[in-house]
Structure 1
């Protein structure tokens, strides 16, 4: 009996001594920091998606002998329109990072925060965030996991050729995410995490990914997570397989594969550098200019069985505690700053949502009149198109999801609006832009230099960092943002009607407003927002959201 006890003692303490984890297929040696947090960077969670595995579902990672150094981030996945010579990216990109308290052992059973980065499904835009700050903010009481997933055509190519090929798959970027979640289920205990307590996090396309995982396979619960915090959820145009064919056909044509008997094999024969040369956006059929993000998840009848709105509307989703929220001015960093006419505004919106009709565009222009303000080096219609686009893609879908969850009686349904103003961003006319809350959630030192100066210690907005981190840490640990919130912080009530009916005959909603230190607290979703969102949500299915 004694040898067994000694063995168990050894297994539980080895992690705390040399930072080496043995995962069966590979052993990785991490490193400790002075903050009491250890990290393992650049571990493989799947096989390199290259050669015959290009355009295929993710496969198990290869077996590696010896102990691998896990002290450097893996390269990010290739982005649409990105230079083939970008040394920070590679087709071999399916790597995962883990941040854990140095004191954790294989028996610690700590909650796990699994973060899905954004990038419009065309880039890895939030790669290599430093999770040690959030671990430290939790009192060294959580595990943080970040990872890369395939984007652009590598992750979302769809066509009849893909459908007919035995070793090809749809929505591989989302399947990469699921593969990483399965990796967490298998191995996170060895880092001190509890596989039964995984909380999803994600911003923008990462938040949209959360919506897809909630509704995946018709809402099938595979036990991969117990809650989710979706920051600035994004609703893009969703195409089916036949509607996506033009993307495949164009790639085949510009890659010089059109006359090949097997065009998919031809695409796979190209080097990543060659394929990246052809990886660029083209307009949707009937649109004037390319959209910002052409490659997106597609309706494949399997993982994605319906439009996101229809899935939530029909109740085909996993019911877990959630946070959904958005920023006040989500559209400003995306829209053409030189927009100077109503026609240009309508054209931009139609480029992003090609199924918008002339009548719908006219109604949108009525709901979003050009009332300024004007900004230097900006067209007079820039803020108008920014407001419309921000609501169409971010704010209104976010509110709509929360309202759908409310209708189905989901317990643990929180919503927020982030409105903490940075002086420099305000001066530029950006307002409170898309995913601004990330600088507070992760801490300004941990987002690769993306945080505004006002979030730094001692500056105007440094107060928001411990406040919002406490809400998020509380949610990660207890599935409730209130349980461990910072002292003096307001209670975050669930998204619910605050009155039975208002003057228009419909119920109002209440959400958390992160504003200034004096005014942060619950707010009513105003009539003007509800009126605009009511229309945009009513056409959501028609425009393929």
Structure 2
């Protein structure tokens, strides 16, 4: 009966359907909206509501749809963690505050545990037999915020129509923070780790079962994401021994791949904290207790934990770790073991990934403080000599730091640009290169570097490629061609070469008269090689 309850909120009178696009799912009529170019079907439940006894459980599929489903507005977004912005000194460029403020503000869409819904956007008039390829978007947000209402995707579909390669855009919600990424012994023993990733997998199963009704070809799904969503694409590629189960045939990753994480037990203190804060410490079965407390109590507790804009930066308690089921080992170890789907993929990063995540550590102003931060936050077992070598590879000289290519400018503290360079490489650039080094001889891979849409003081920081790929720019064209043919080439732009370890070439999206350039992926090689050595030896 649970699946029936899920749909009650979606029932609307049939009279509302006049002139609107409709799709048949099982025994249900899905009513969407159209602007004559695209048709949108929003907020369709793809799993039962994870509430009550289904909280902190694997996503449960909806067995059969019936009635009328109102898919004319966004469905609930999953409960978001509150992101407290770092204090930005008044003498820093105002563009920084203007950039990060909207980034952490959720859209004006209701938040609820009942949030496992999916959006489908198709070219208007698409027939069920059209067999269009699918771009399945997984949003980012550090596993703490994000929603399928943030980037609806209509512009991508519009552009695909314009260049004669129409695609269907789908985007799923997945549970976040304490609702989707709680870790520790109790979670591991119950086989319930990384629930947010399991939600994504269930959404991809939904696509296989139902996308043909919208005119999609279930054999032509590309999974695509940014930041945490980009890492999630890699996680979907490395789970299950690399067996895709036929759920997707390609991957496109923007700013995220093989996280340097491993041990699920590291998350135990956060589990214990959530249990304590919600009054479940004395319970014989804390998981059962957590399923009975108000969602507001869990939300209040998780809001007291670090975020990706906290001092701990990218070492948060909500990043996926090896849970023994979905991720049988750390992501980097699974890549080394060859547990990777043998599919074409694209993986890229922005030039200055780390600047955004270094704003909360502006109080670090000396080399000694930087060394202590690196040791305590990232490499607690590393020797002082190892940390010093890392600092030598990422020198305090502002001209060597990030934002790169800015000389002595934007050295907000004596250590800011140094830490920004390291943090960008540690989570984004070095892991991207590691994945390519491991896989580019085995499968067709391409990579990019975004140097456009720079923010004063932060450079081409994390997320700065999104206006291009979601705005109908040249990256949109490359993506659309890739979704259609598994090759981003074929348009008027410069040829994007495949990446091989022997010829590690990137497509650079740059500013100026030559907006696309092919460059060698050899920058900061010694530093990134050492970073990977450290991350493999001592994962988070």
Band the TM-score falls in, shorter-chain normalisation: 0.7 to 0.9
- Secondary structure of the residue that 1:47 maps to in structure 2? coil
- Secondary structure of the residue that 1:298 maps to in structure 2? coil
Unaligned stretches of 5+ residues in structure 1 = 1-14, 444-464, 498-506
Aligned 8 A contact 1:327 1:434 in 2:
yes
Does structure 1 residue 520 correspond to structure 2 residue 516?
yes
1:252 to 275, 283, 292: 275
Does structure 1 residue 266 correspond to structure 2 residue 289?
yes
Determine the C-alpha separation between the residues in 2 that align with 1:297 and 1:403.
23
Question: How far does residue 65 in structure 1 lie from its aligned partner after superposition?
Answer: 4.6
**Where does residue 389 of structure 1 map in the other structure?**
423
**Where does residue 360 of structure 1 map in the other structure?**
386
Determine the C-alpha separation between the residues in 2 that align with 1:43 and 1:251.
31
- Secondary structure of the residue that 2:48 maps to in structure 1? coil
Alpha-carbon spacing, 1:512–1:117, altered in 2? closer, same or farther (3 Å): same
**Where does residue 174 of structure 2 map in the other structure?**
149
Partner deviation per Cα, 1:41-82 (whole Å, 9 max, x = no partner):
111011111111111000123766531211111122123346
Determine the C-alpha separation between the residues in 2 that align with 1:67 and 1:388.
52
Alpha-carbon spacing, 1:289–1:221, altered in 2? closer, same or farther (3 Å): closer
Partner deviation per Cα, 1:429-454 (whole Å, 9 max, x = no partner):
111011211110110xxxxxxxxxxx
Aligned 8 A contact 2:250 2:343 in 1:
yes
**Where does residue 297 of structure 1 map in the other structure?**
320
Does structure 1 residue 492 correspond to structure 2 residue 496?
yes
Alpha-carbon spacing, 1:17–1:479, altered in 2? closer, same or farther (3 Å): farther
Aligned 8 A contact 1:414 1:494 in 2:
yes
Question: How far does residue 314 in structure 1 lie from its aligned partner after superposition?
Answer: 2.0
Determine the C-alpha separation between the residues in 2 that align with 1:201 and 1:439.
15
Aligned 8 A contact 2:21 2:33 in 1:
yes
Alpha-carbon spacing, 1:71–1:128, altered in 2? closer, same or farther (3 Å): farther
Structure 1 segments (4+ residues) deviating >6 Å:
none
Aligned 8 A contact 2:58 2:192 in 1:
yes
Aligned 8 A contact 1:355 1:544 in 2:
no
Structure 1 vs Structure 2 CA RMSD: 2.7
Partner deviation per Cα, 1:208-246 (whole Å, 9 max, x = no partner):
111111110221230100111101115545243433222
Question: How far does residue 360 in structure 1 lie from its aligned partner after superposition?
Answer: 3.4
Alpha-carbon spacing, 1:324–1:352, altered in 2? closer, same or farther (3 Å): farther
State TM-score, norm by structure 1.
Answer: 0.83
Question: How far does residue 525 in structure 1 lie from its aligned partner after superposition?
Answer: 2.0
2:469 to 437, 441, 448: 441
Aligned 8 A contact 2:267 2:317 in 1:
no
Aligned 8 A contact 1:238 1:298 in 2:
yes
Aligned 8 A contact 2:181 2:194 in 1:
yes
- Secondary structure of the residue that 1:521 maps to in structure 2? strand
- Secondary structure of the residue that 1:224 maps to in structure 2? coil
Aligned 8 A contact 1:93 1:149 in 2:
yes
Partner deviation per Cα, 1:92-131 (whole Å, 9 max, x = no partner):
1111101001121100000000011111112216743121
State TM-score, norm by structure 2.
Answer: 0.84
**Range moving further from structure 2, 235-244 or 264-273:** 235-244
2:187 to 149, 157, 162: 162
**Where does residue 340 of structure 1 map in the other structure?**
365
Determine the C-alpha separation between the residues in 2 that align with 1:23 and 1:541.
46
Aligned 8 A contact 1:73 1:128 in 2:
no
Unaligned stretches of 5+ residues in structure 2 = 1-16, 85-105, 399-406
Question: How far does residue 17 in structure 1 lie from its aligned partner after superposition?
Answer: 6.7
Structure 1 residues 144-543: aligned runs within 5 Å: 144-165=169-190, 169-280=192-303, 282=305, 293-336=316-359, 338=362, 339-350=364-375, 352-353=377-378, 355=380, 357=382, 358-372=384-398, 373=407, 378-407=412-441, 409-410=442-443, 412-422=444-454, 425=455, 427=456, 429-443=457-471, 465-483=472-490, 485=491, 487=492, 489-497=493-501, 507=502, 509-516=504-511, 517-518=513-514, 520-526=516-522, 528-543=523-538
Determine the C-alpha separation between the residues in 2 that align with 1:180 and 1:228.
16
Aligned 8 A contact 2:352 2:424 in 1:
yes
- Secondary structure of the residue that 2:452 maps to in structure 1? coil
Determine the C-alpha separation between the residues in 2 that align with 1:143 and 1:82.
32
Question: How far does residue 161 in structure 1 lie from its aligned partner after superposition?
Answer: 2.4
Give the number of equivalent residue pairs: 485
Aligned 8 A contact 1:474 1:482 in 2:
yes
Aligned 8 A contact 1:282 1:290 in 2:
no
Question: How far does residue 361 in structure 1 lie from its aligned partner after superposition?
Answer: 2.6
Determine the C-alpha separation between the residues in 2 that align with 1:333 and 1:252.
31
Determine the C-alpha separation between the residues in 2 that align with 1:289 and 1:510.
33
